[in-house]
Amino acid sequence: MTAFLKQYVQYQKPQISMLAALCLPLAGAVYNFGWRAAVYVFFSMFCCWLAEYLFTRREGKPASAAALVTGALLGLISPPNVPFWQIAVGGFFCVIFAKMVFGGFGKNIFNPAMVGRCFLYISFPAALAATWYVPFQGGFAGFAAFTSTARTAAVDTSMFNVDGVTSATTLTAVKRLNLSRREALVAQKPVEAEKALKAFENISIGRLIVGNINGSLGETSAILILLAMAMLIYQKVLFIPLLLGPFVGILLAKLLLHAVGLDVMPLMQSYLINIFGGGTLFAVVFMVTEPITAPMNSRARWIYSVLIGFLAAIIRTLSAFNAGFMFAILLGNTFGPLIEIAVVEYEKRQKEKSA
């Protein structure tokens, strides 16, 4: 059996460790949304593997285990009930255009899963950004069902009643609440400003941490993602600068937004909601820390990861899009090589001066 698998999948220990860690958020996805989530993720993995194998088989080589990781990530960062044909399109697109055109494993500039998610996000906005489903609650929850079919309320009708289950996604509501309070303060309407603030303060950080809320399949449960992070740290798969930098960047962005009056909600709660809501932890643990698209130099890694966190918070607050980390990671991938070149040149000049 092992020999048979080696013909089709190249064994890569770090990638296998990543797949093992991804089983935790996958379990959370099944609990929240039913067994369709598992079928969906495995189908995504198959599509990404097949797309790469169609290239590598010509050279008599198996596809890399990284293709399976890409498929798992793409599936887990997608909302529930996205049509299977769309994830197939996204899987083939990200492997072909974000990986194989650069020469295959280890040569890609952009994170393939994020490229696939971005392509789907732009091509099919209704399925990827506008339609969300209520997670199962209590008992065996999704372990006793195939899929959730109840849709959440629209943001306009649920903005002041954010429970994370039947209402719009937390970050969508937070953005609208912040805008509503800012406009009320400018117009000197204290009653409306207080209403928005009250709704914001009612958002439960504890519920975000547990993660039994609507959202993308694998991004909701902070507890499971933190357990996966602990596994990967123990196995020395993650690099600390890449792991901690985004949280520093988000804090810097929040401080700036508060200083200029663009974020008028309480700073600490706003920061915590950004950390535990909207897939931040998943993006940081499984994507920002991805070593192939990140710089190798330690100082460059800090700049790169802080920049991603900073851009993610800015995009979430000021743009029309909620997928701040998706765009921030792709921007980080774009400028990562330039950051590393600049840092290496700087360190070289410093050594020459001290010599």
Closest CA to 284 of 343, 235, 328, 348: 328
Question: How far is it, in rounded angstroms, from Cα 204 to Cα 134?
Answer: 17
pLDDT at 16 over 90: yes
Position 213 scores a pLDDT of 87
What confidence tens digit (pLDDT) does each residue in 75-88 have?
A: 999 999 899 999 99
Position 320 scores a pLDDT of 78
For the chain, the average pLDDT equals 91
Q: Which residue blocks in the chain are alpha helix, DSSP H?
A: 2-6, 13-33, 36-56, 65-76, 84-98, 112-123, 125, 155-158, 170-186, 190-201, 205-210, 222-234, 240-259, 267-276, 280-283, 298-318, 324-354
Unique residue bearing structure tokens 């994507």: 287
pLDDT at 166 over 80: no
Unique residue bearing structure tokens 């903005």: 159
Question: How far is it, in rounded angstroms, from Cα 112 to Cα 33?
Answer: 25
In the DSSP assignment, the letter for residue 136 is: P
Instruction: Answer for the pair 109, 252: CB distance below 8 angstroms, yes or no.
Output: no
Position 90 scores a pLDDT of 97
Q: 55-59, 194-198, 276-280: lowest mean pLDDT where?
A: 276-280
Instruction: Answer for the pair 28, 38: CB distance below 8 angstroms, yes or no.
Output: no
Q: Which residues contact 151 (CB under 8 A, 6 or more apart)?
A: 131, 132, 133, 134
What does the pLDDT average to over 304-318? 95
pLDDT at 294 over 80: yes
DSSP 3-state of 8: coil
How far from chain centre, in Å, is Cα 294?
16
Rama region for 79: left / alpha / beta (φ>0; ψ in -120 to 50; rest): beta
94 token code pair:
């990200």
Taken as a whole, the chain contains a residue count of: 355
Position 203 scores a pLDDT of 87
Position 196 scores a pLDDT of 92
53-68: buried (b, 16+ CB within 10 Å) or exposed (e) per residue? Answer: bebbeeeebbbbbbbb
Position 3 scores a pLDDT of 63
What does the pLDDT average to over 220-225? 93
37 token code pair:
């989530």
What confidence tens digit (pLDDT) does each residue in 243-254 have?
A: 999 999 999 999
Residue type, 262: L
106 token code pair:
């280890």
Unique residue bearing structure tokens 């603030």: 197
pLDDT at 164 over 80: no
Q: Tell me the pLDDT band of 331, cut-offs 50, 70 and 90.
A: very high
What pTM value is reported for the model?
0.94
What does the pLDDT average to over 130-154? 86
111 token code pair:
């994170």
Q: Using a CB cutoff of 8 Å and minimum separation of 24, what contacts does 221-224 make? A: 221/25, 221/28, 221/32, 222/276, 222/281, 224/24, 224/25, 224/27, 224/28
Radius of gyration of the chain (CA): 21
Position 278 scores a pLDDT of 77
Position 1 scores a pLDDT of 46
Q: Which residues contact 73 (CB under 8 A, 6 or more apart)?
A: 22, 113, 286, 287
What does the pLDDT average to over 193-204? 91
Q: Using CA of residue 77, residue 79, residue 81, residue 82, what is the dihedral sign? A: negative
What does the pLDDT average to over 110-115? 96
What does the pLDDT average to over 56-71? 93
Q: 54-63, 127-136, 159-168, 251-260: lowest mean pLDDT where?
A: 159-168
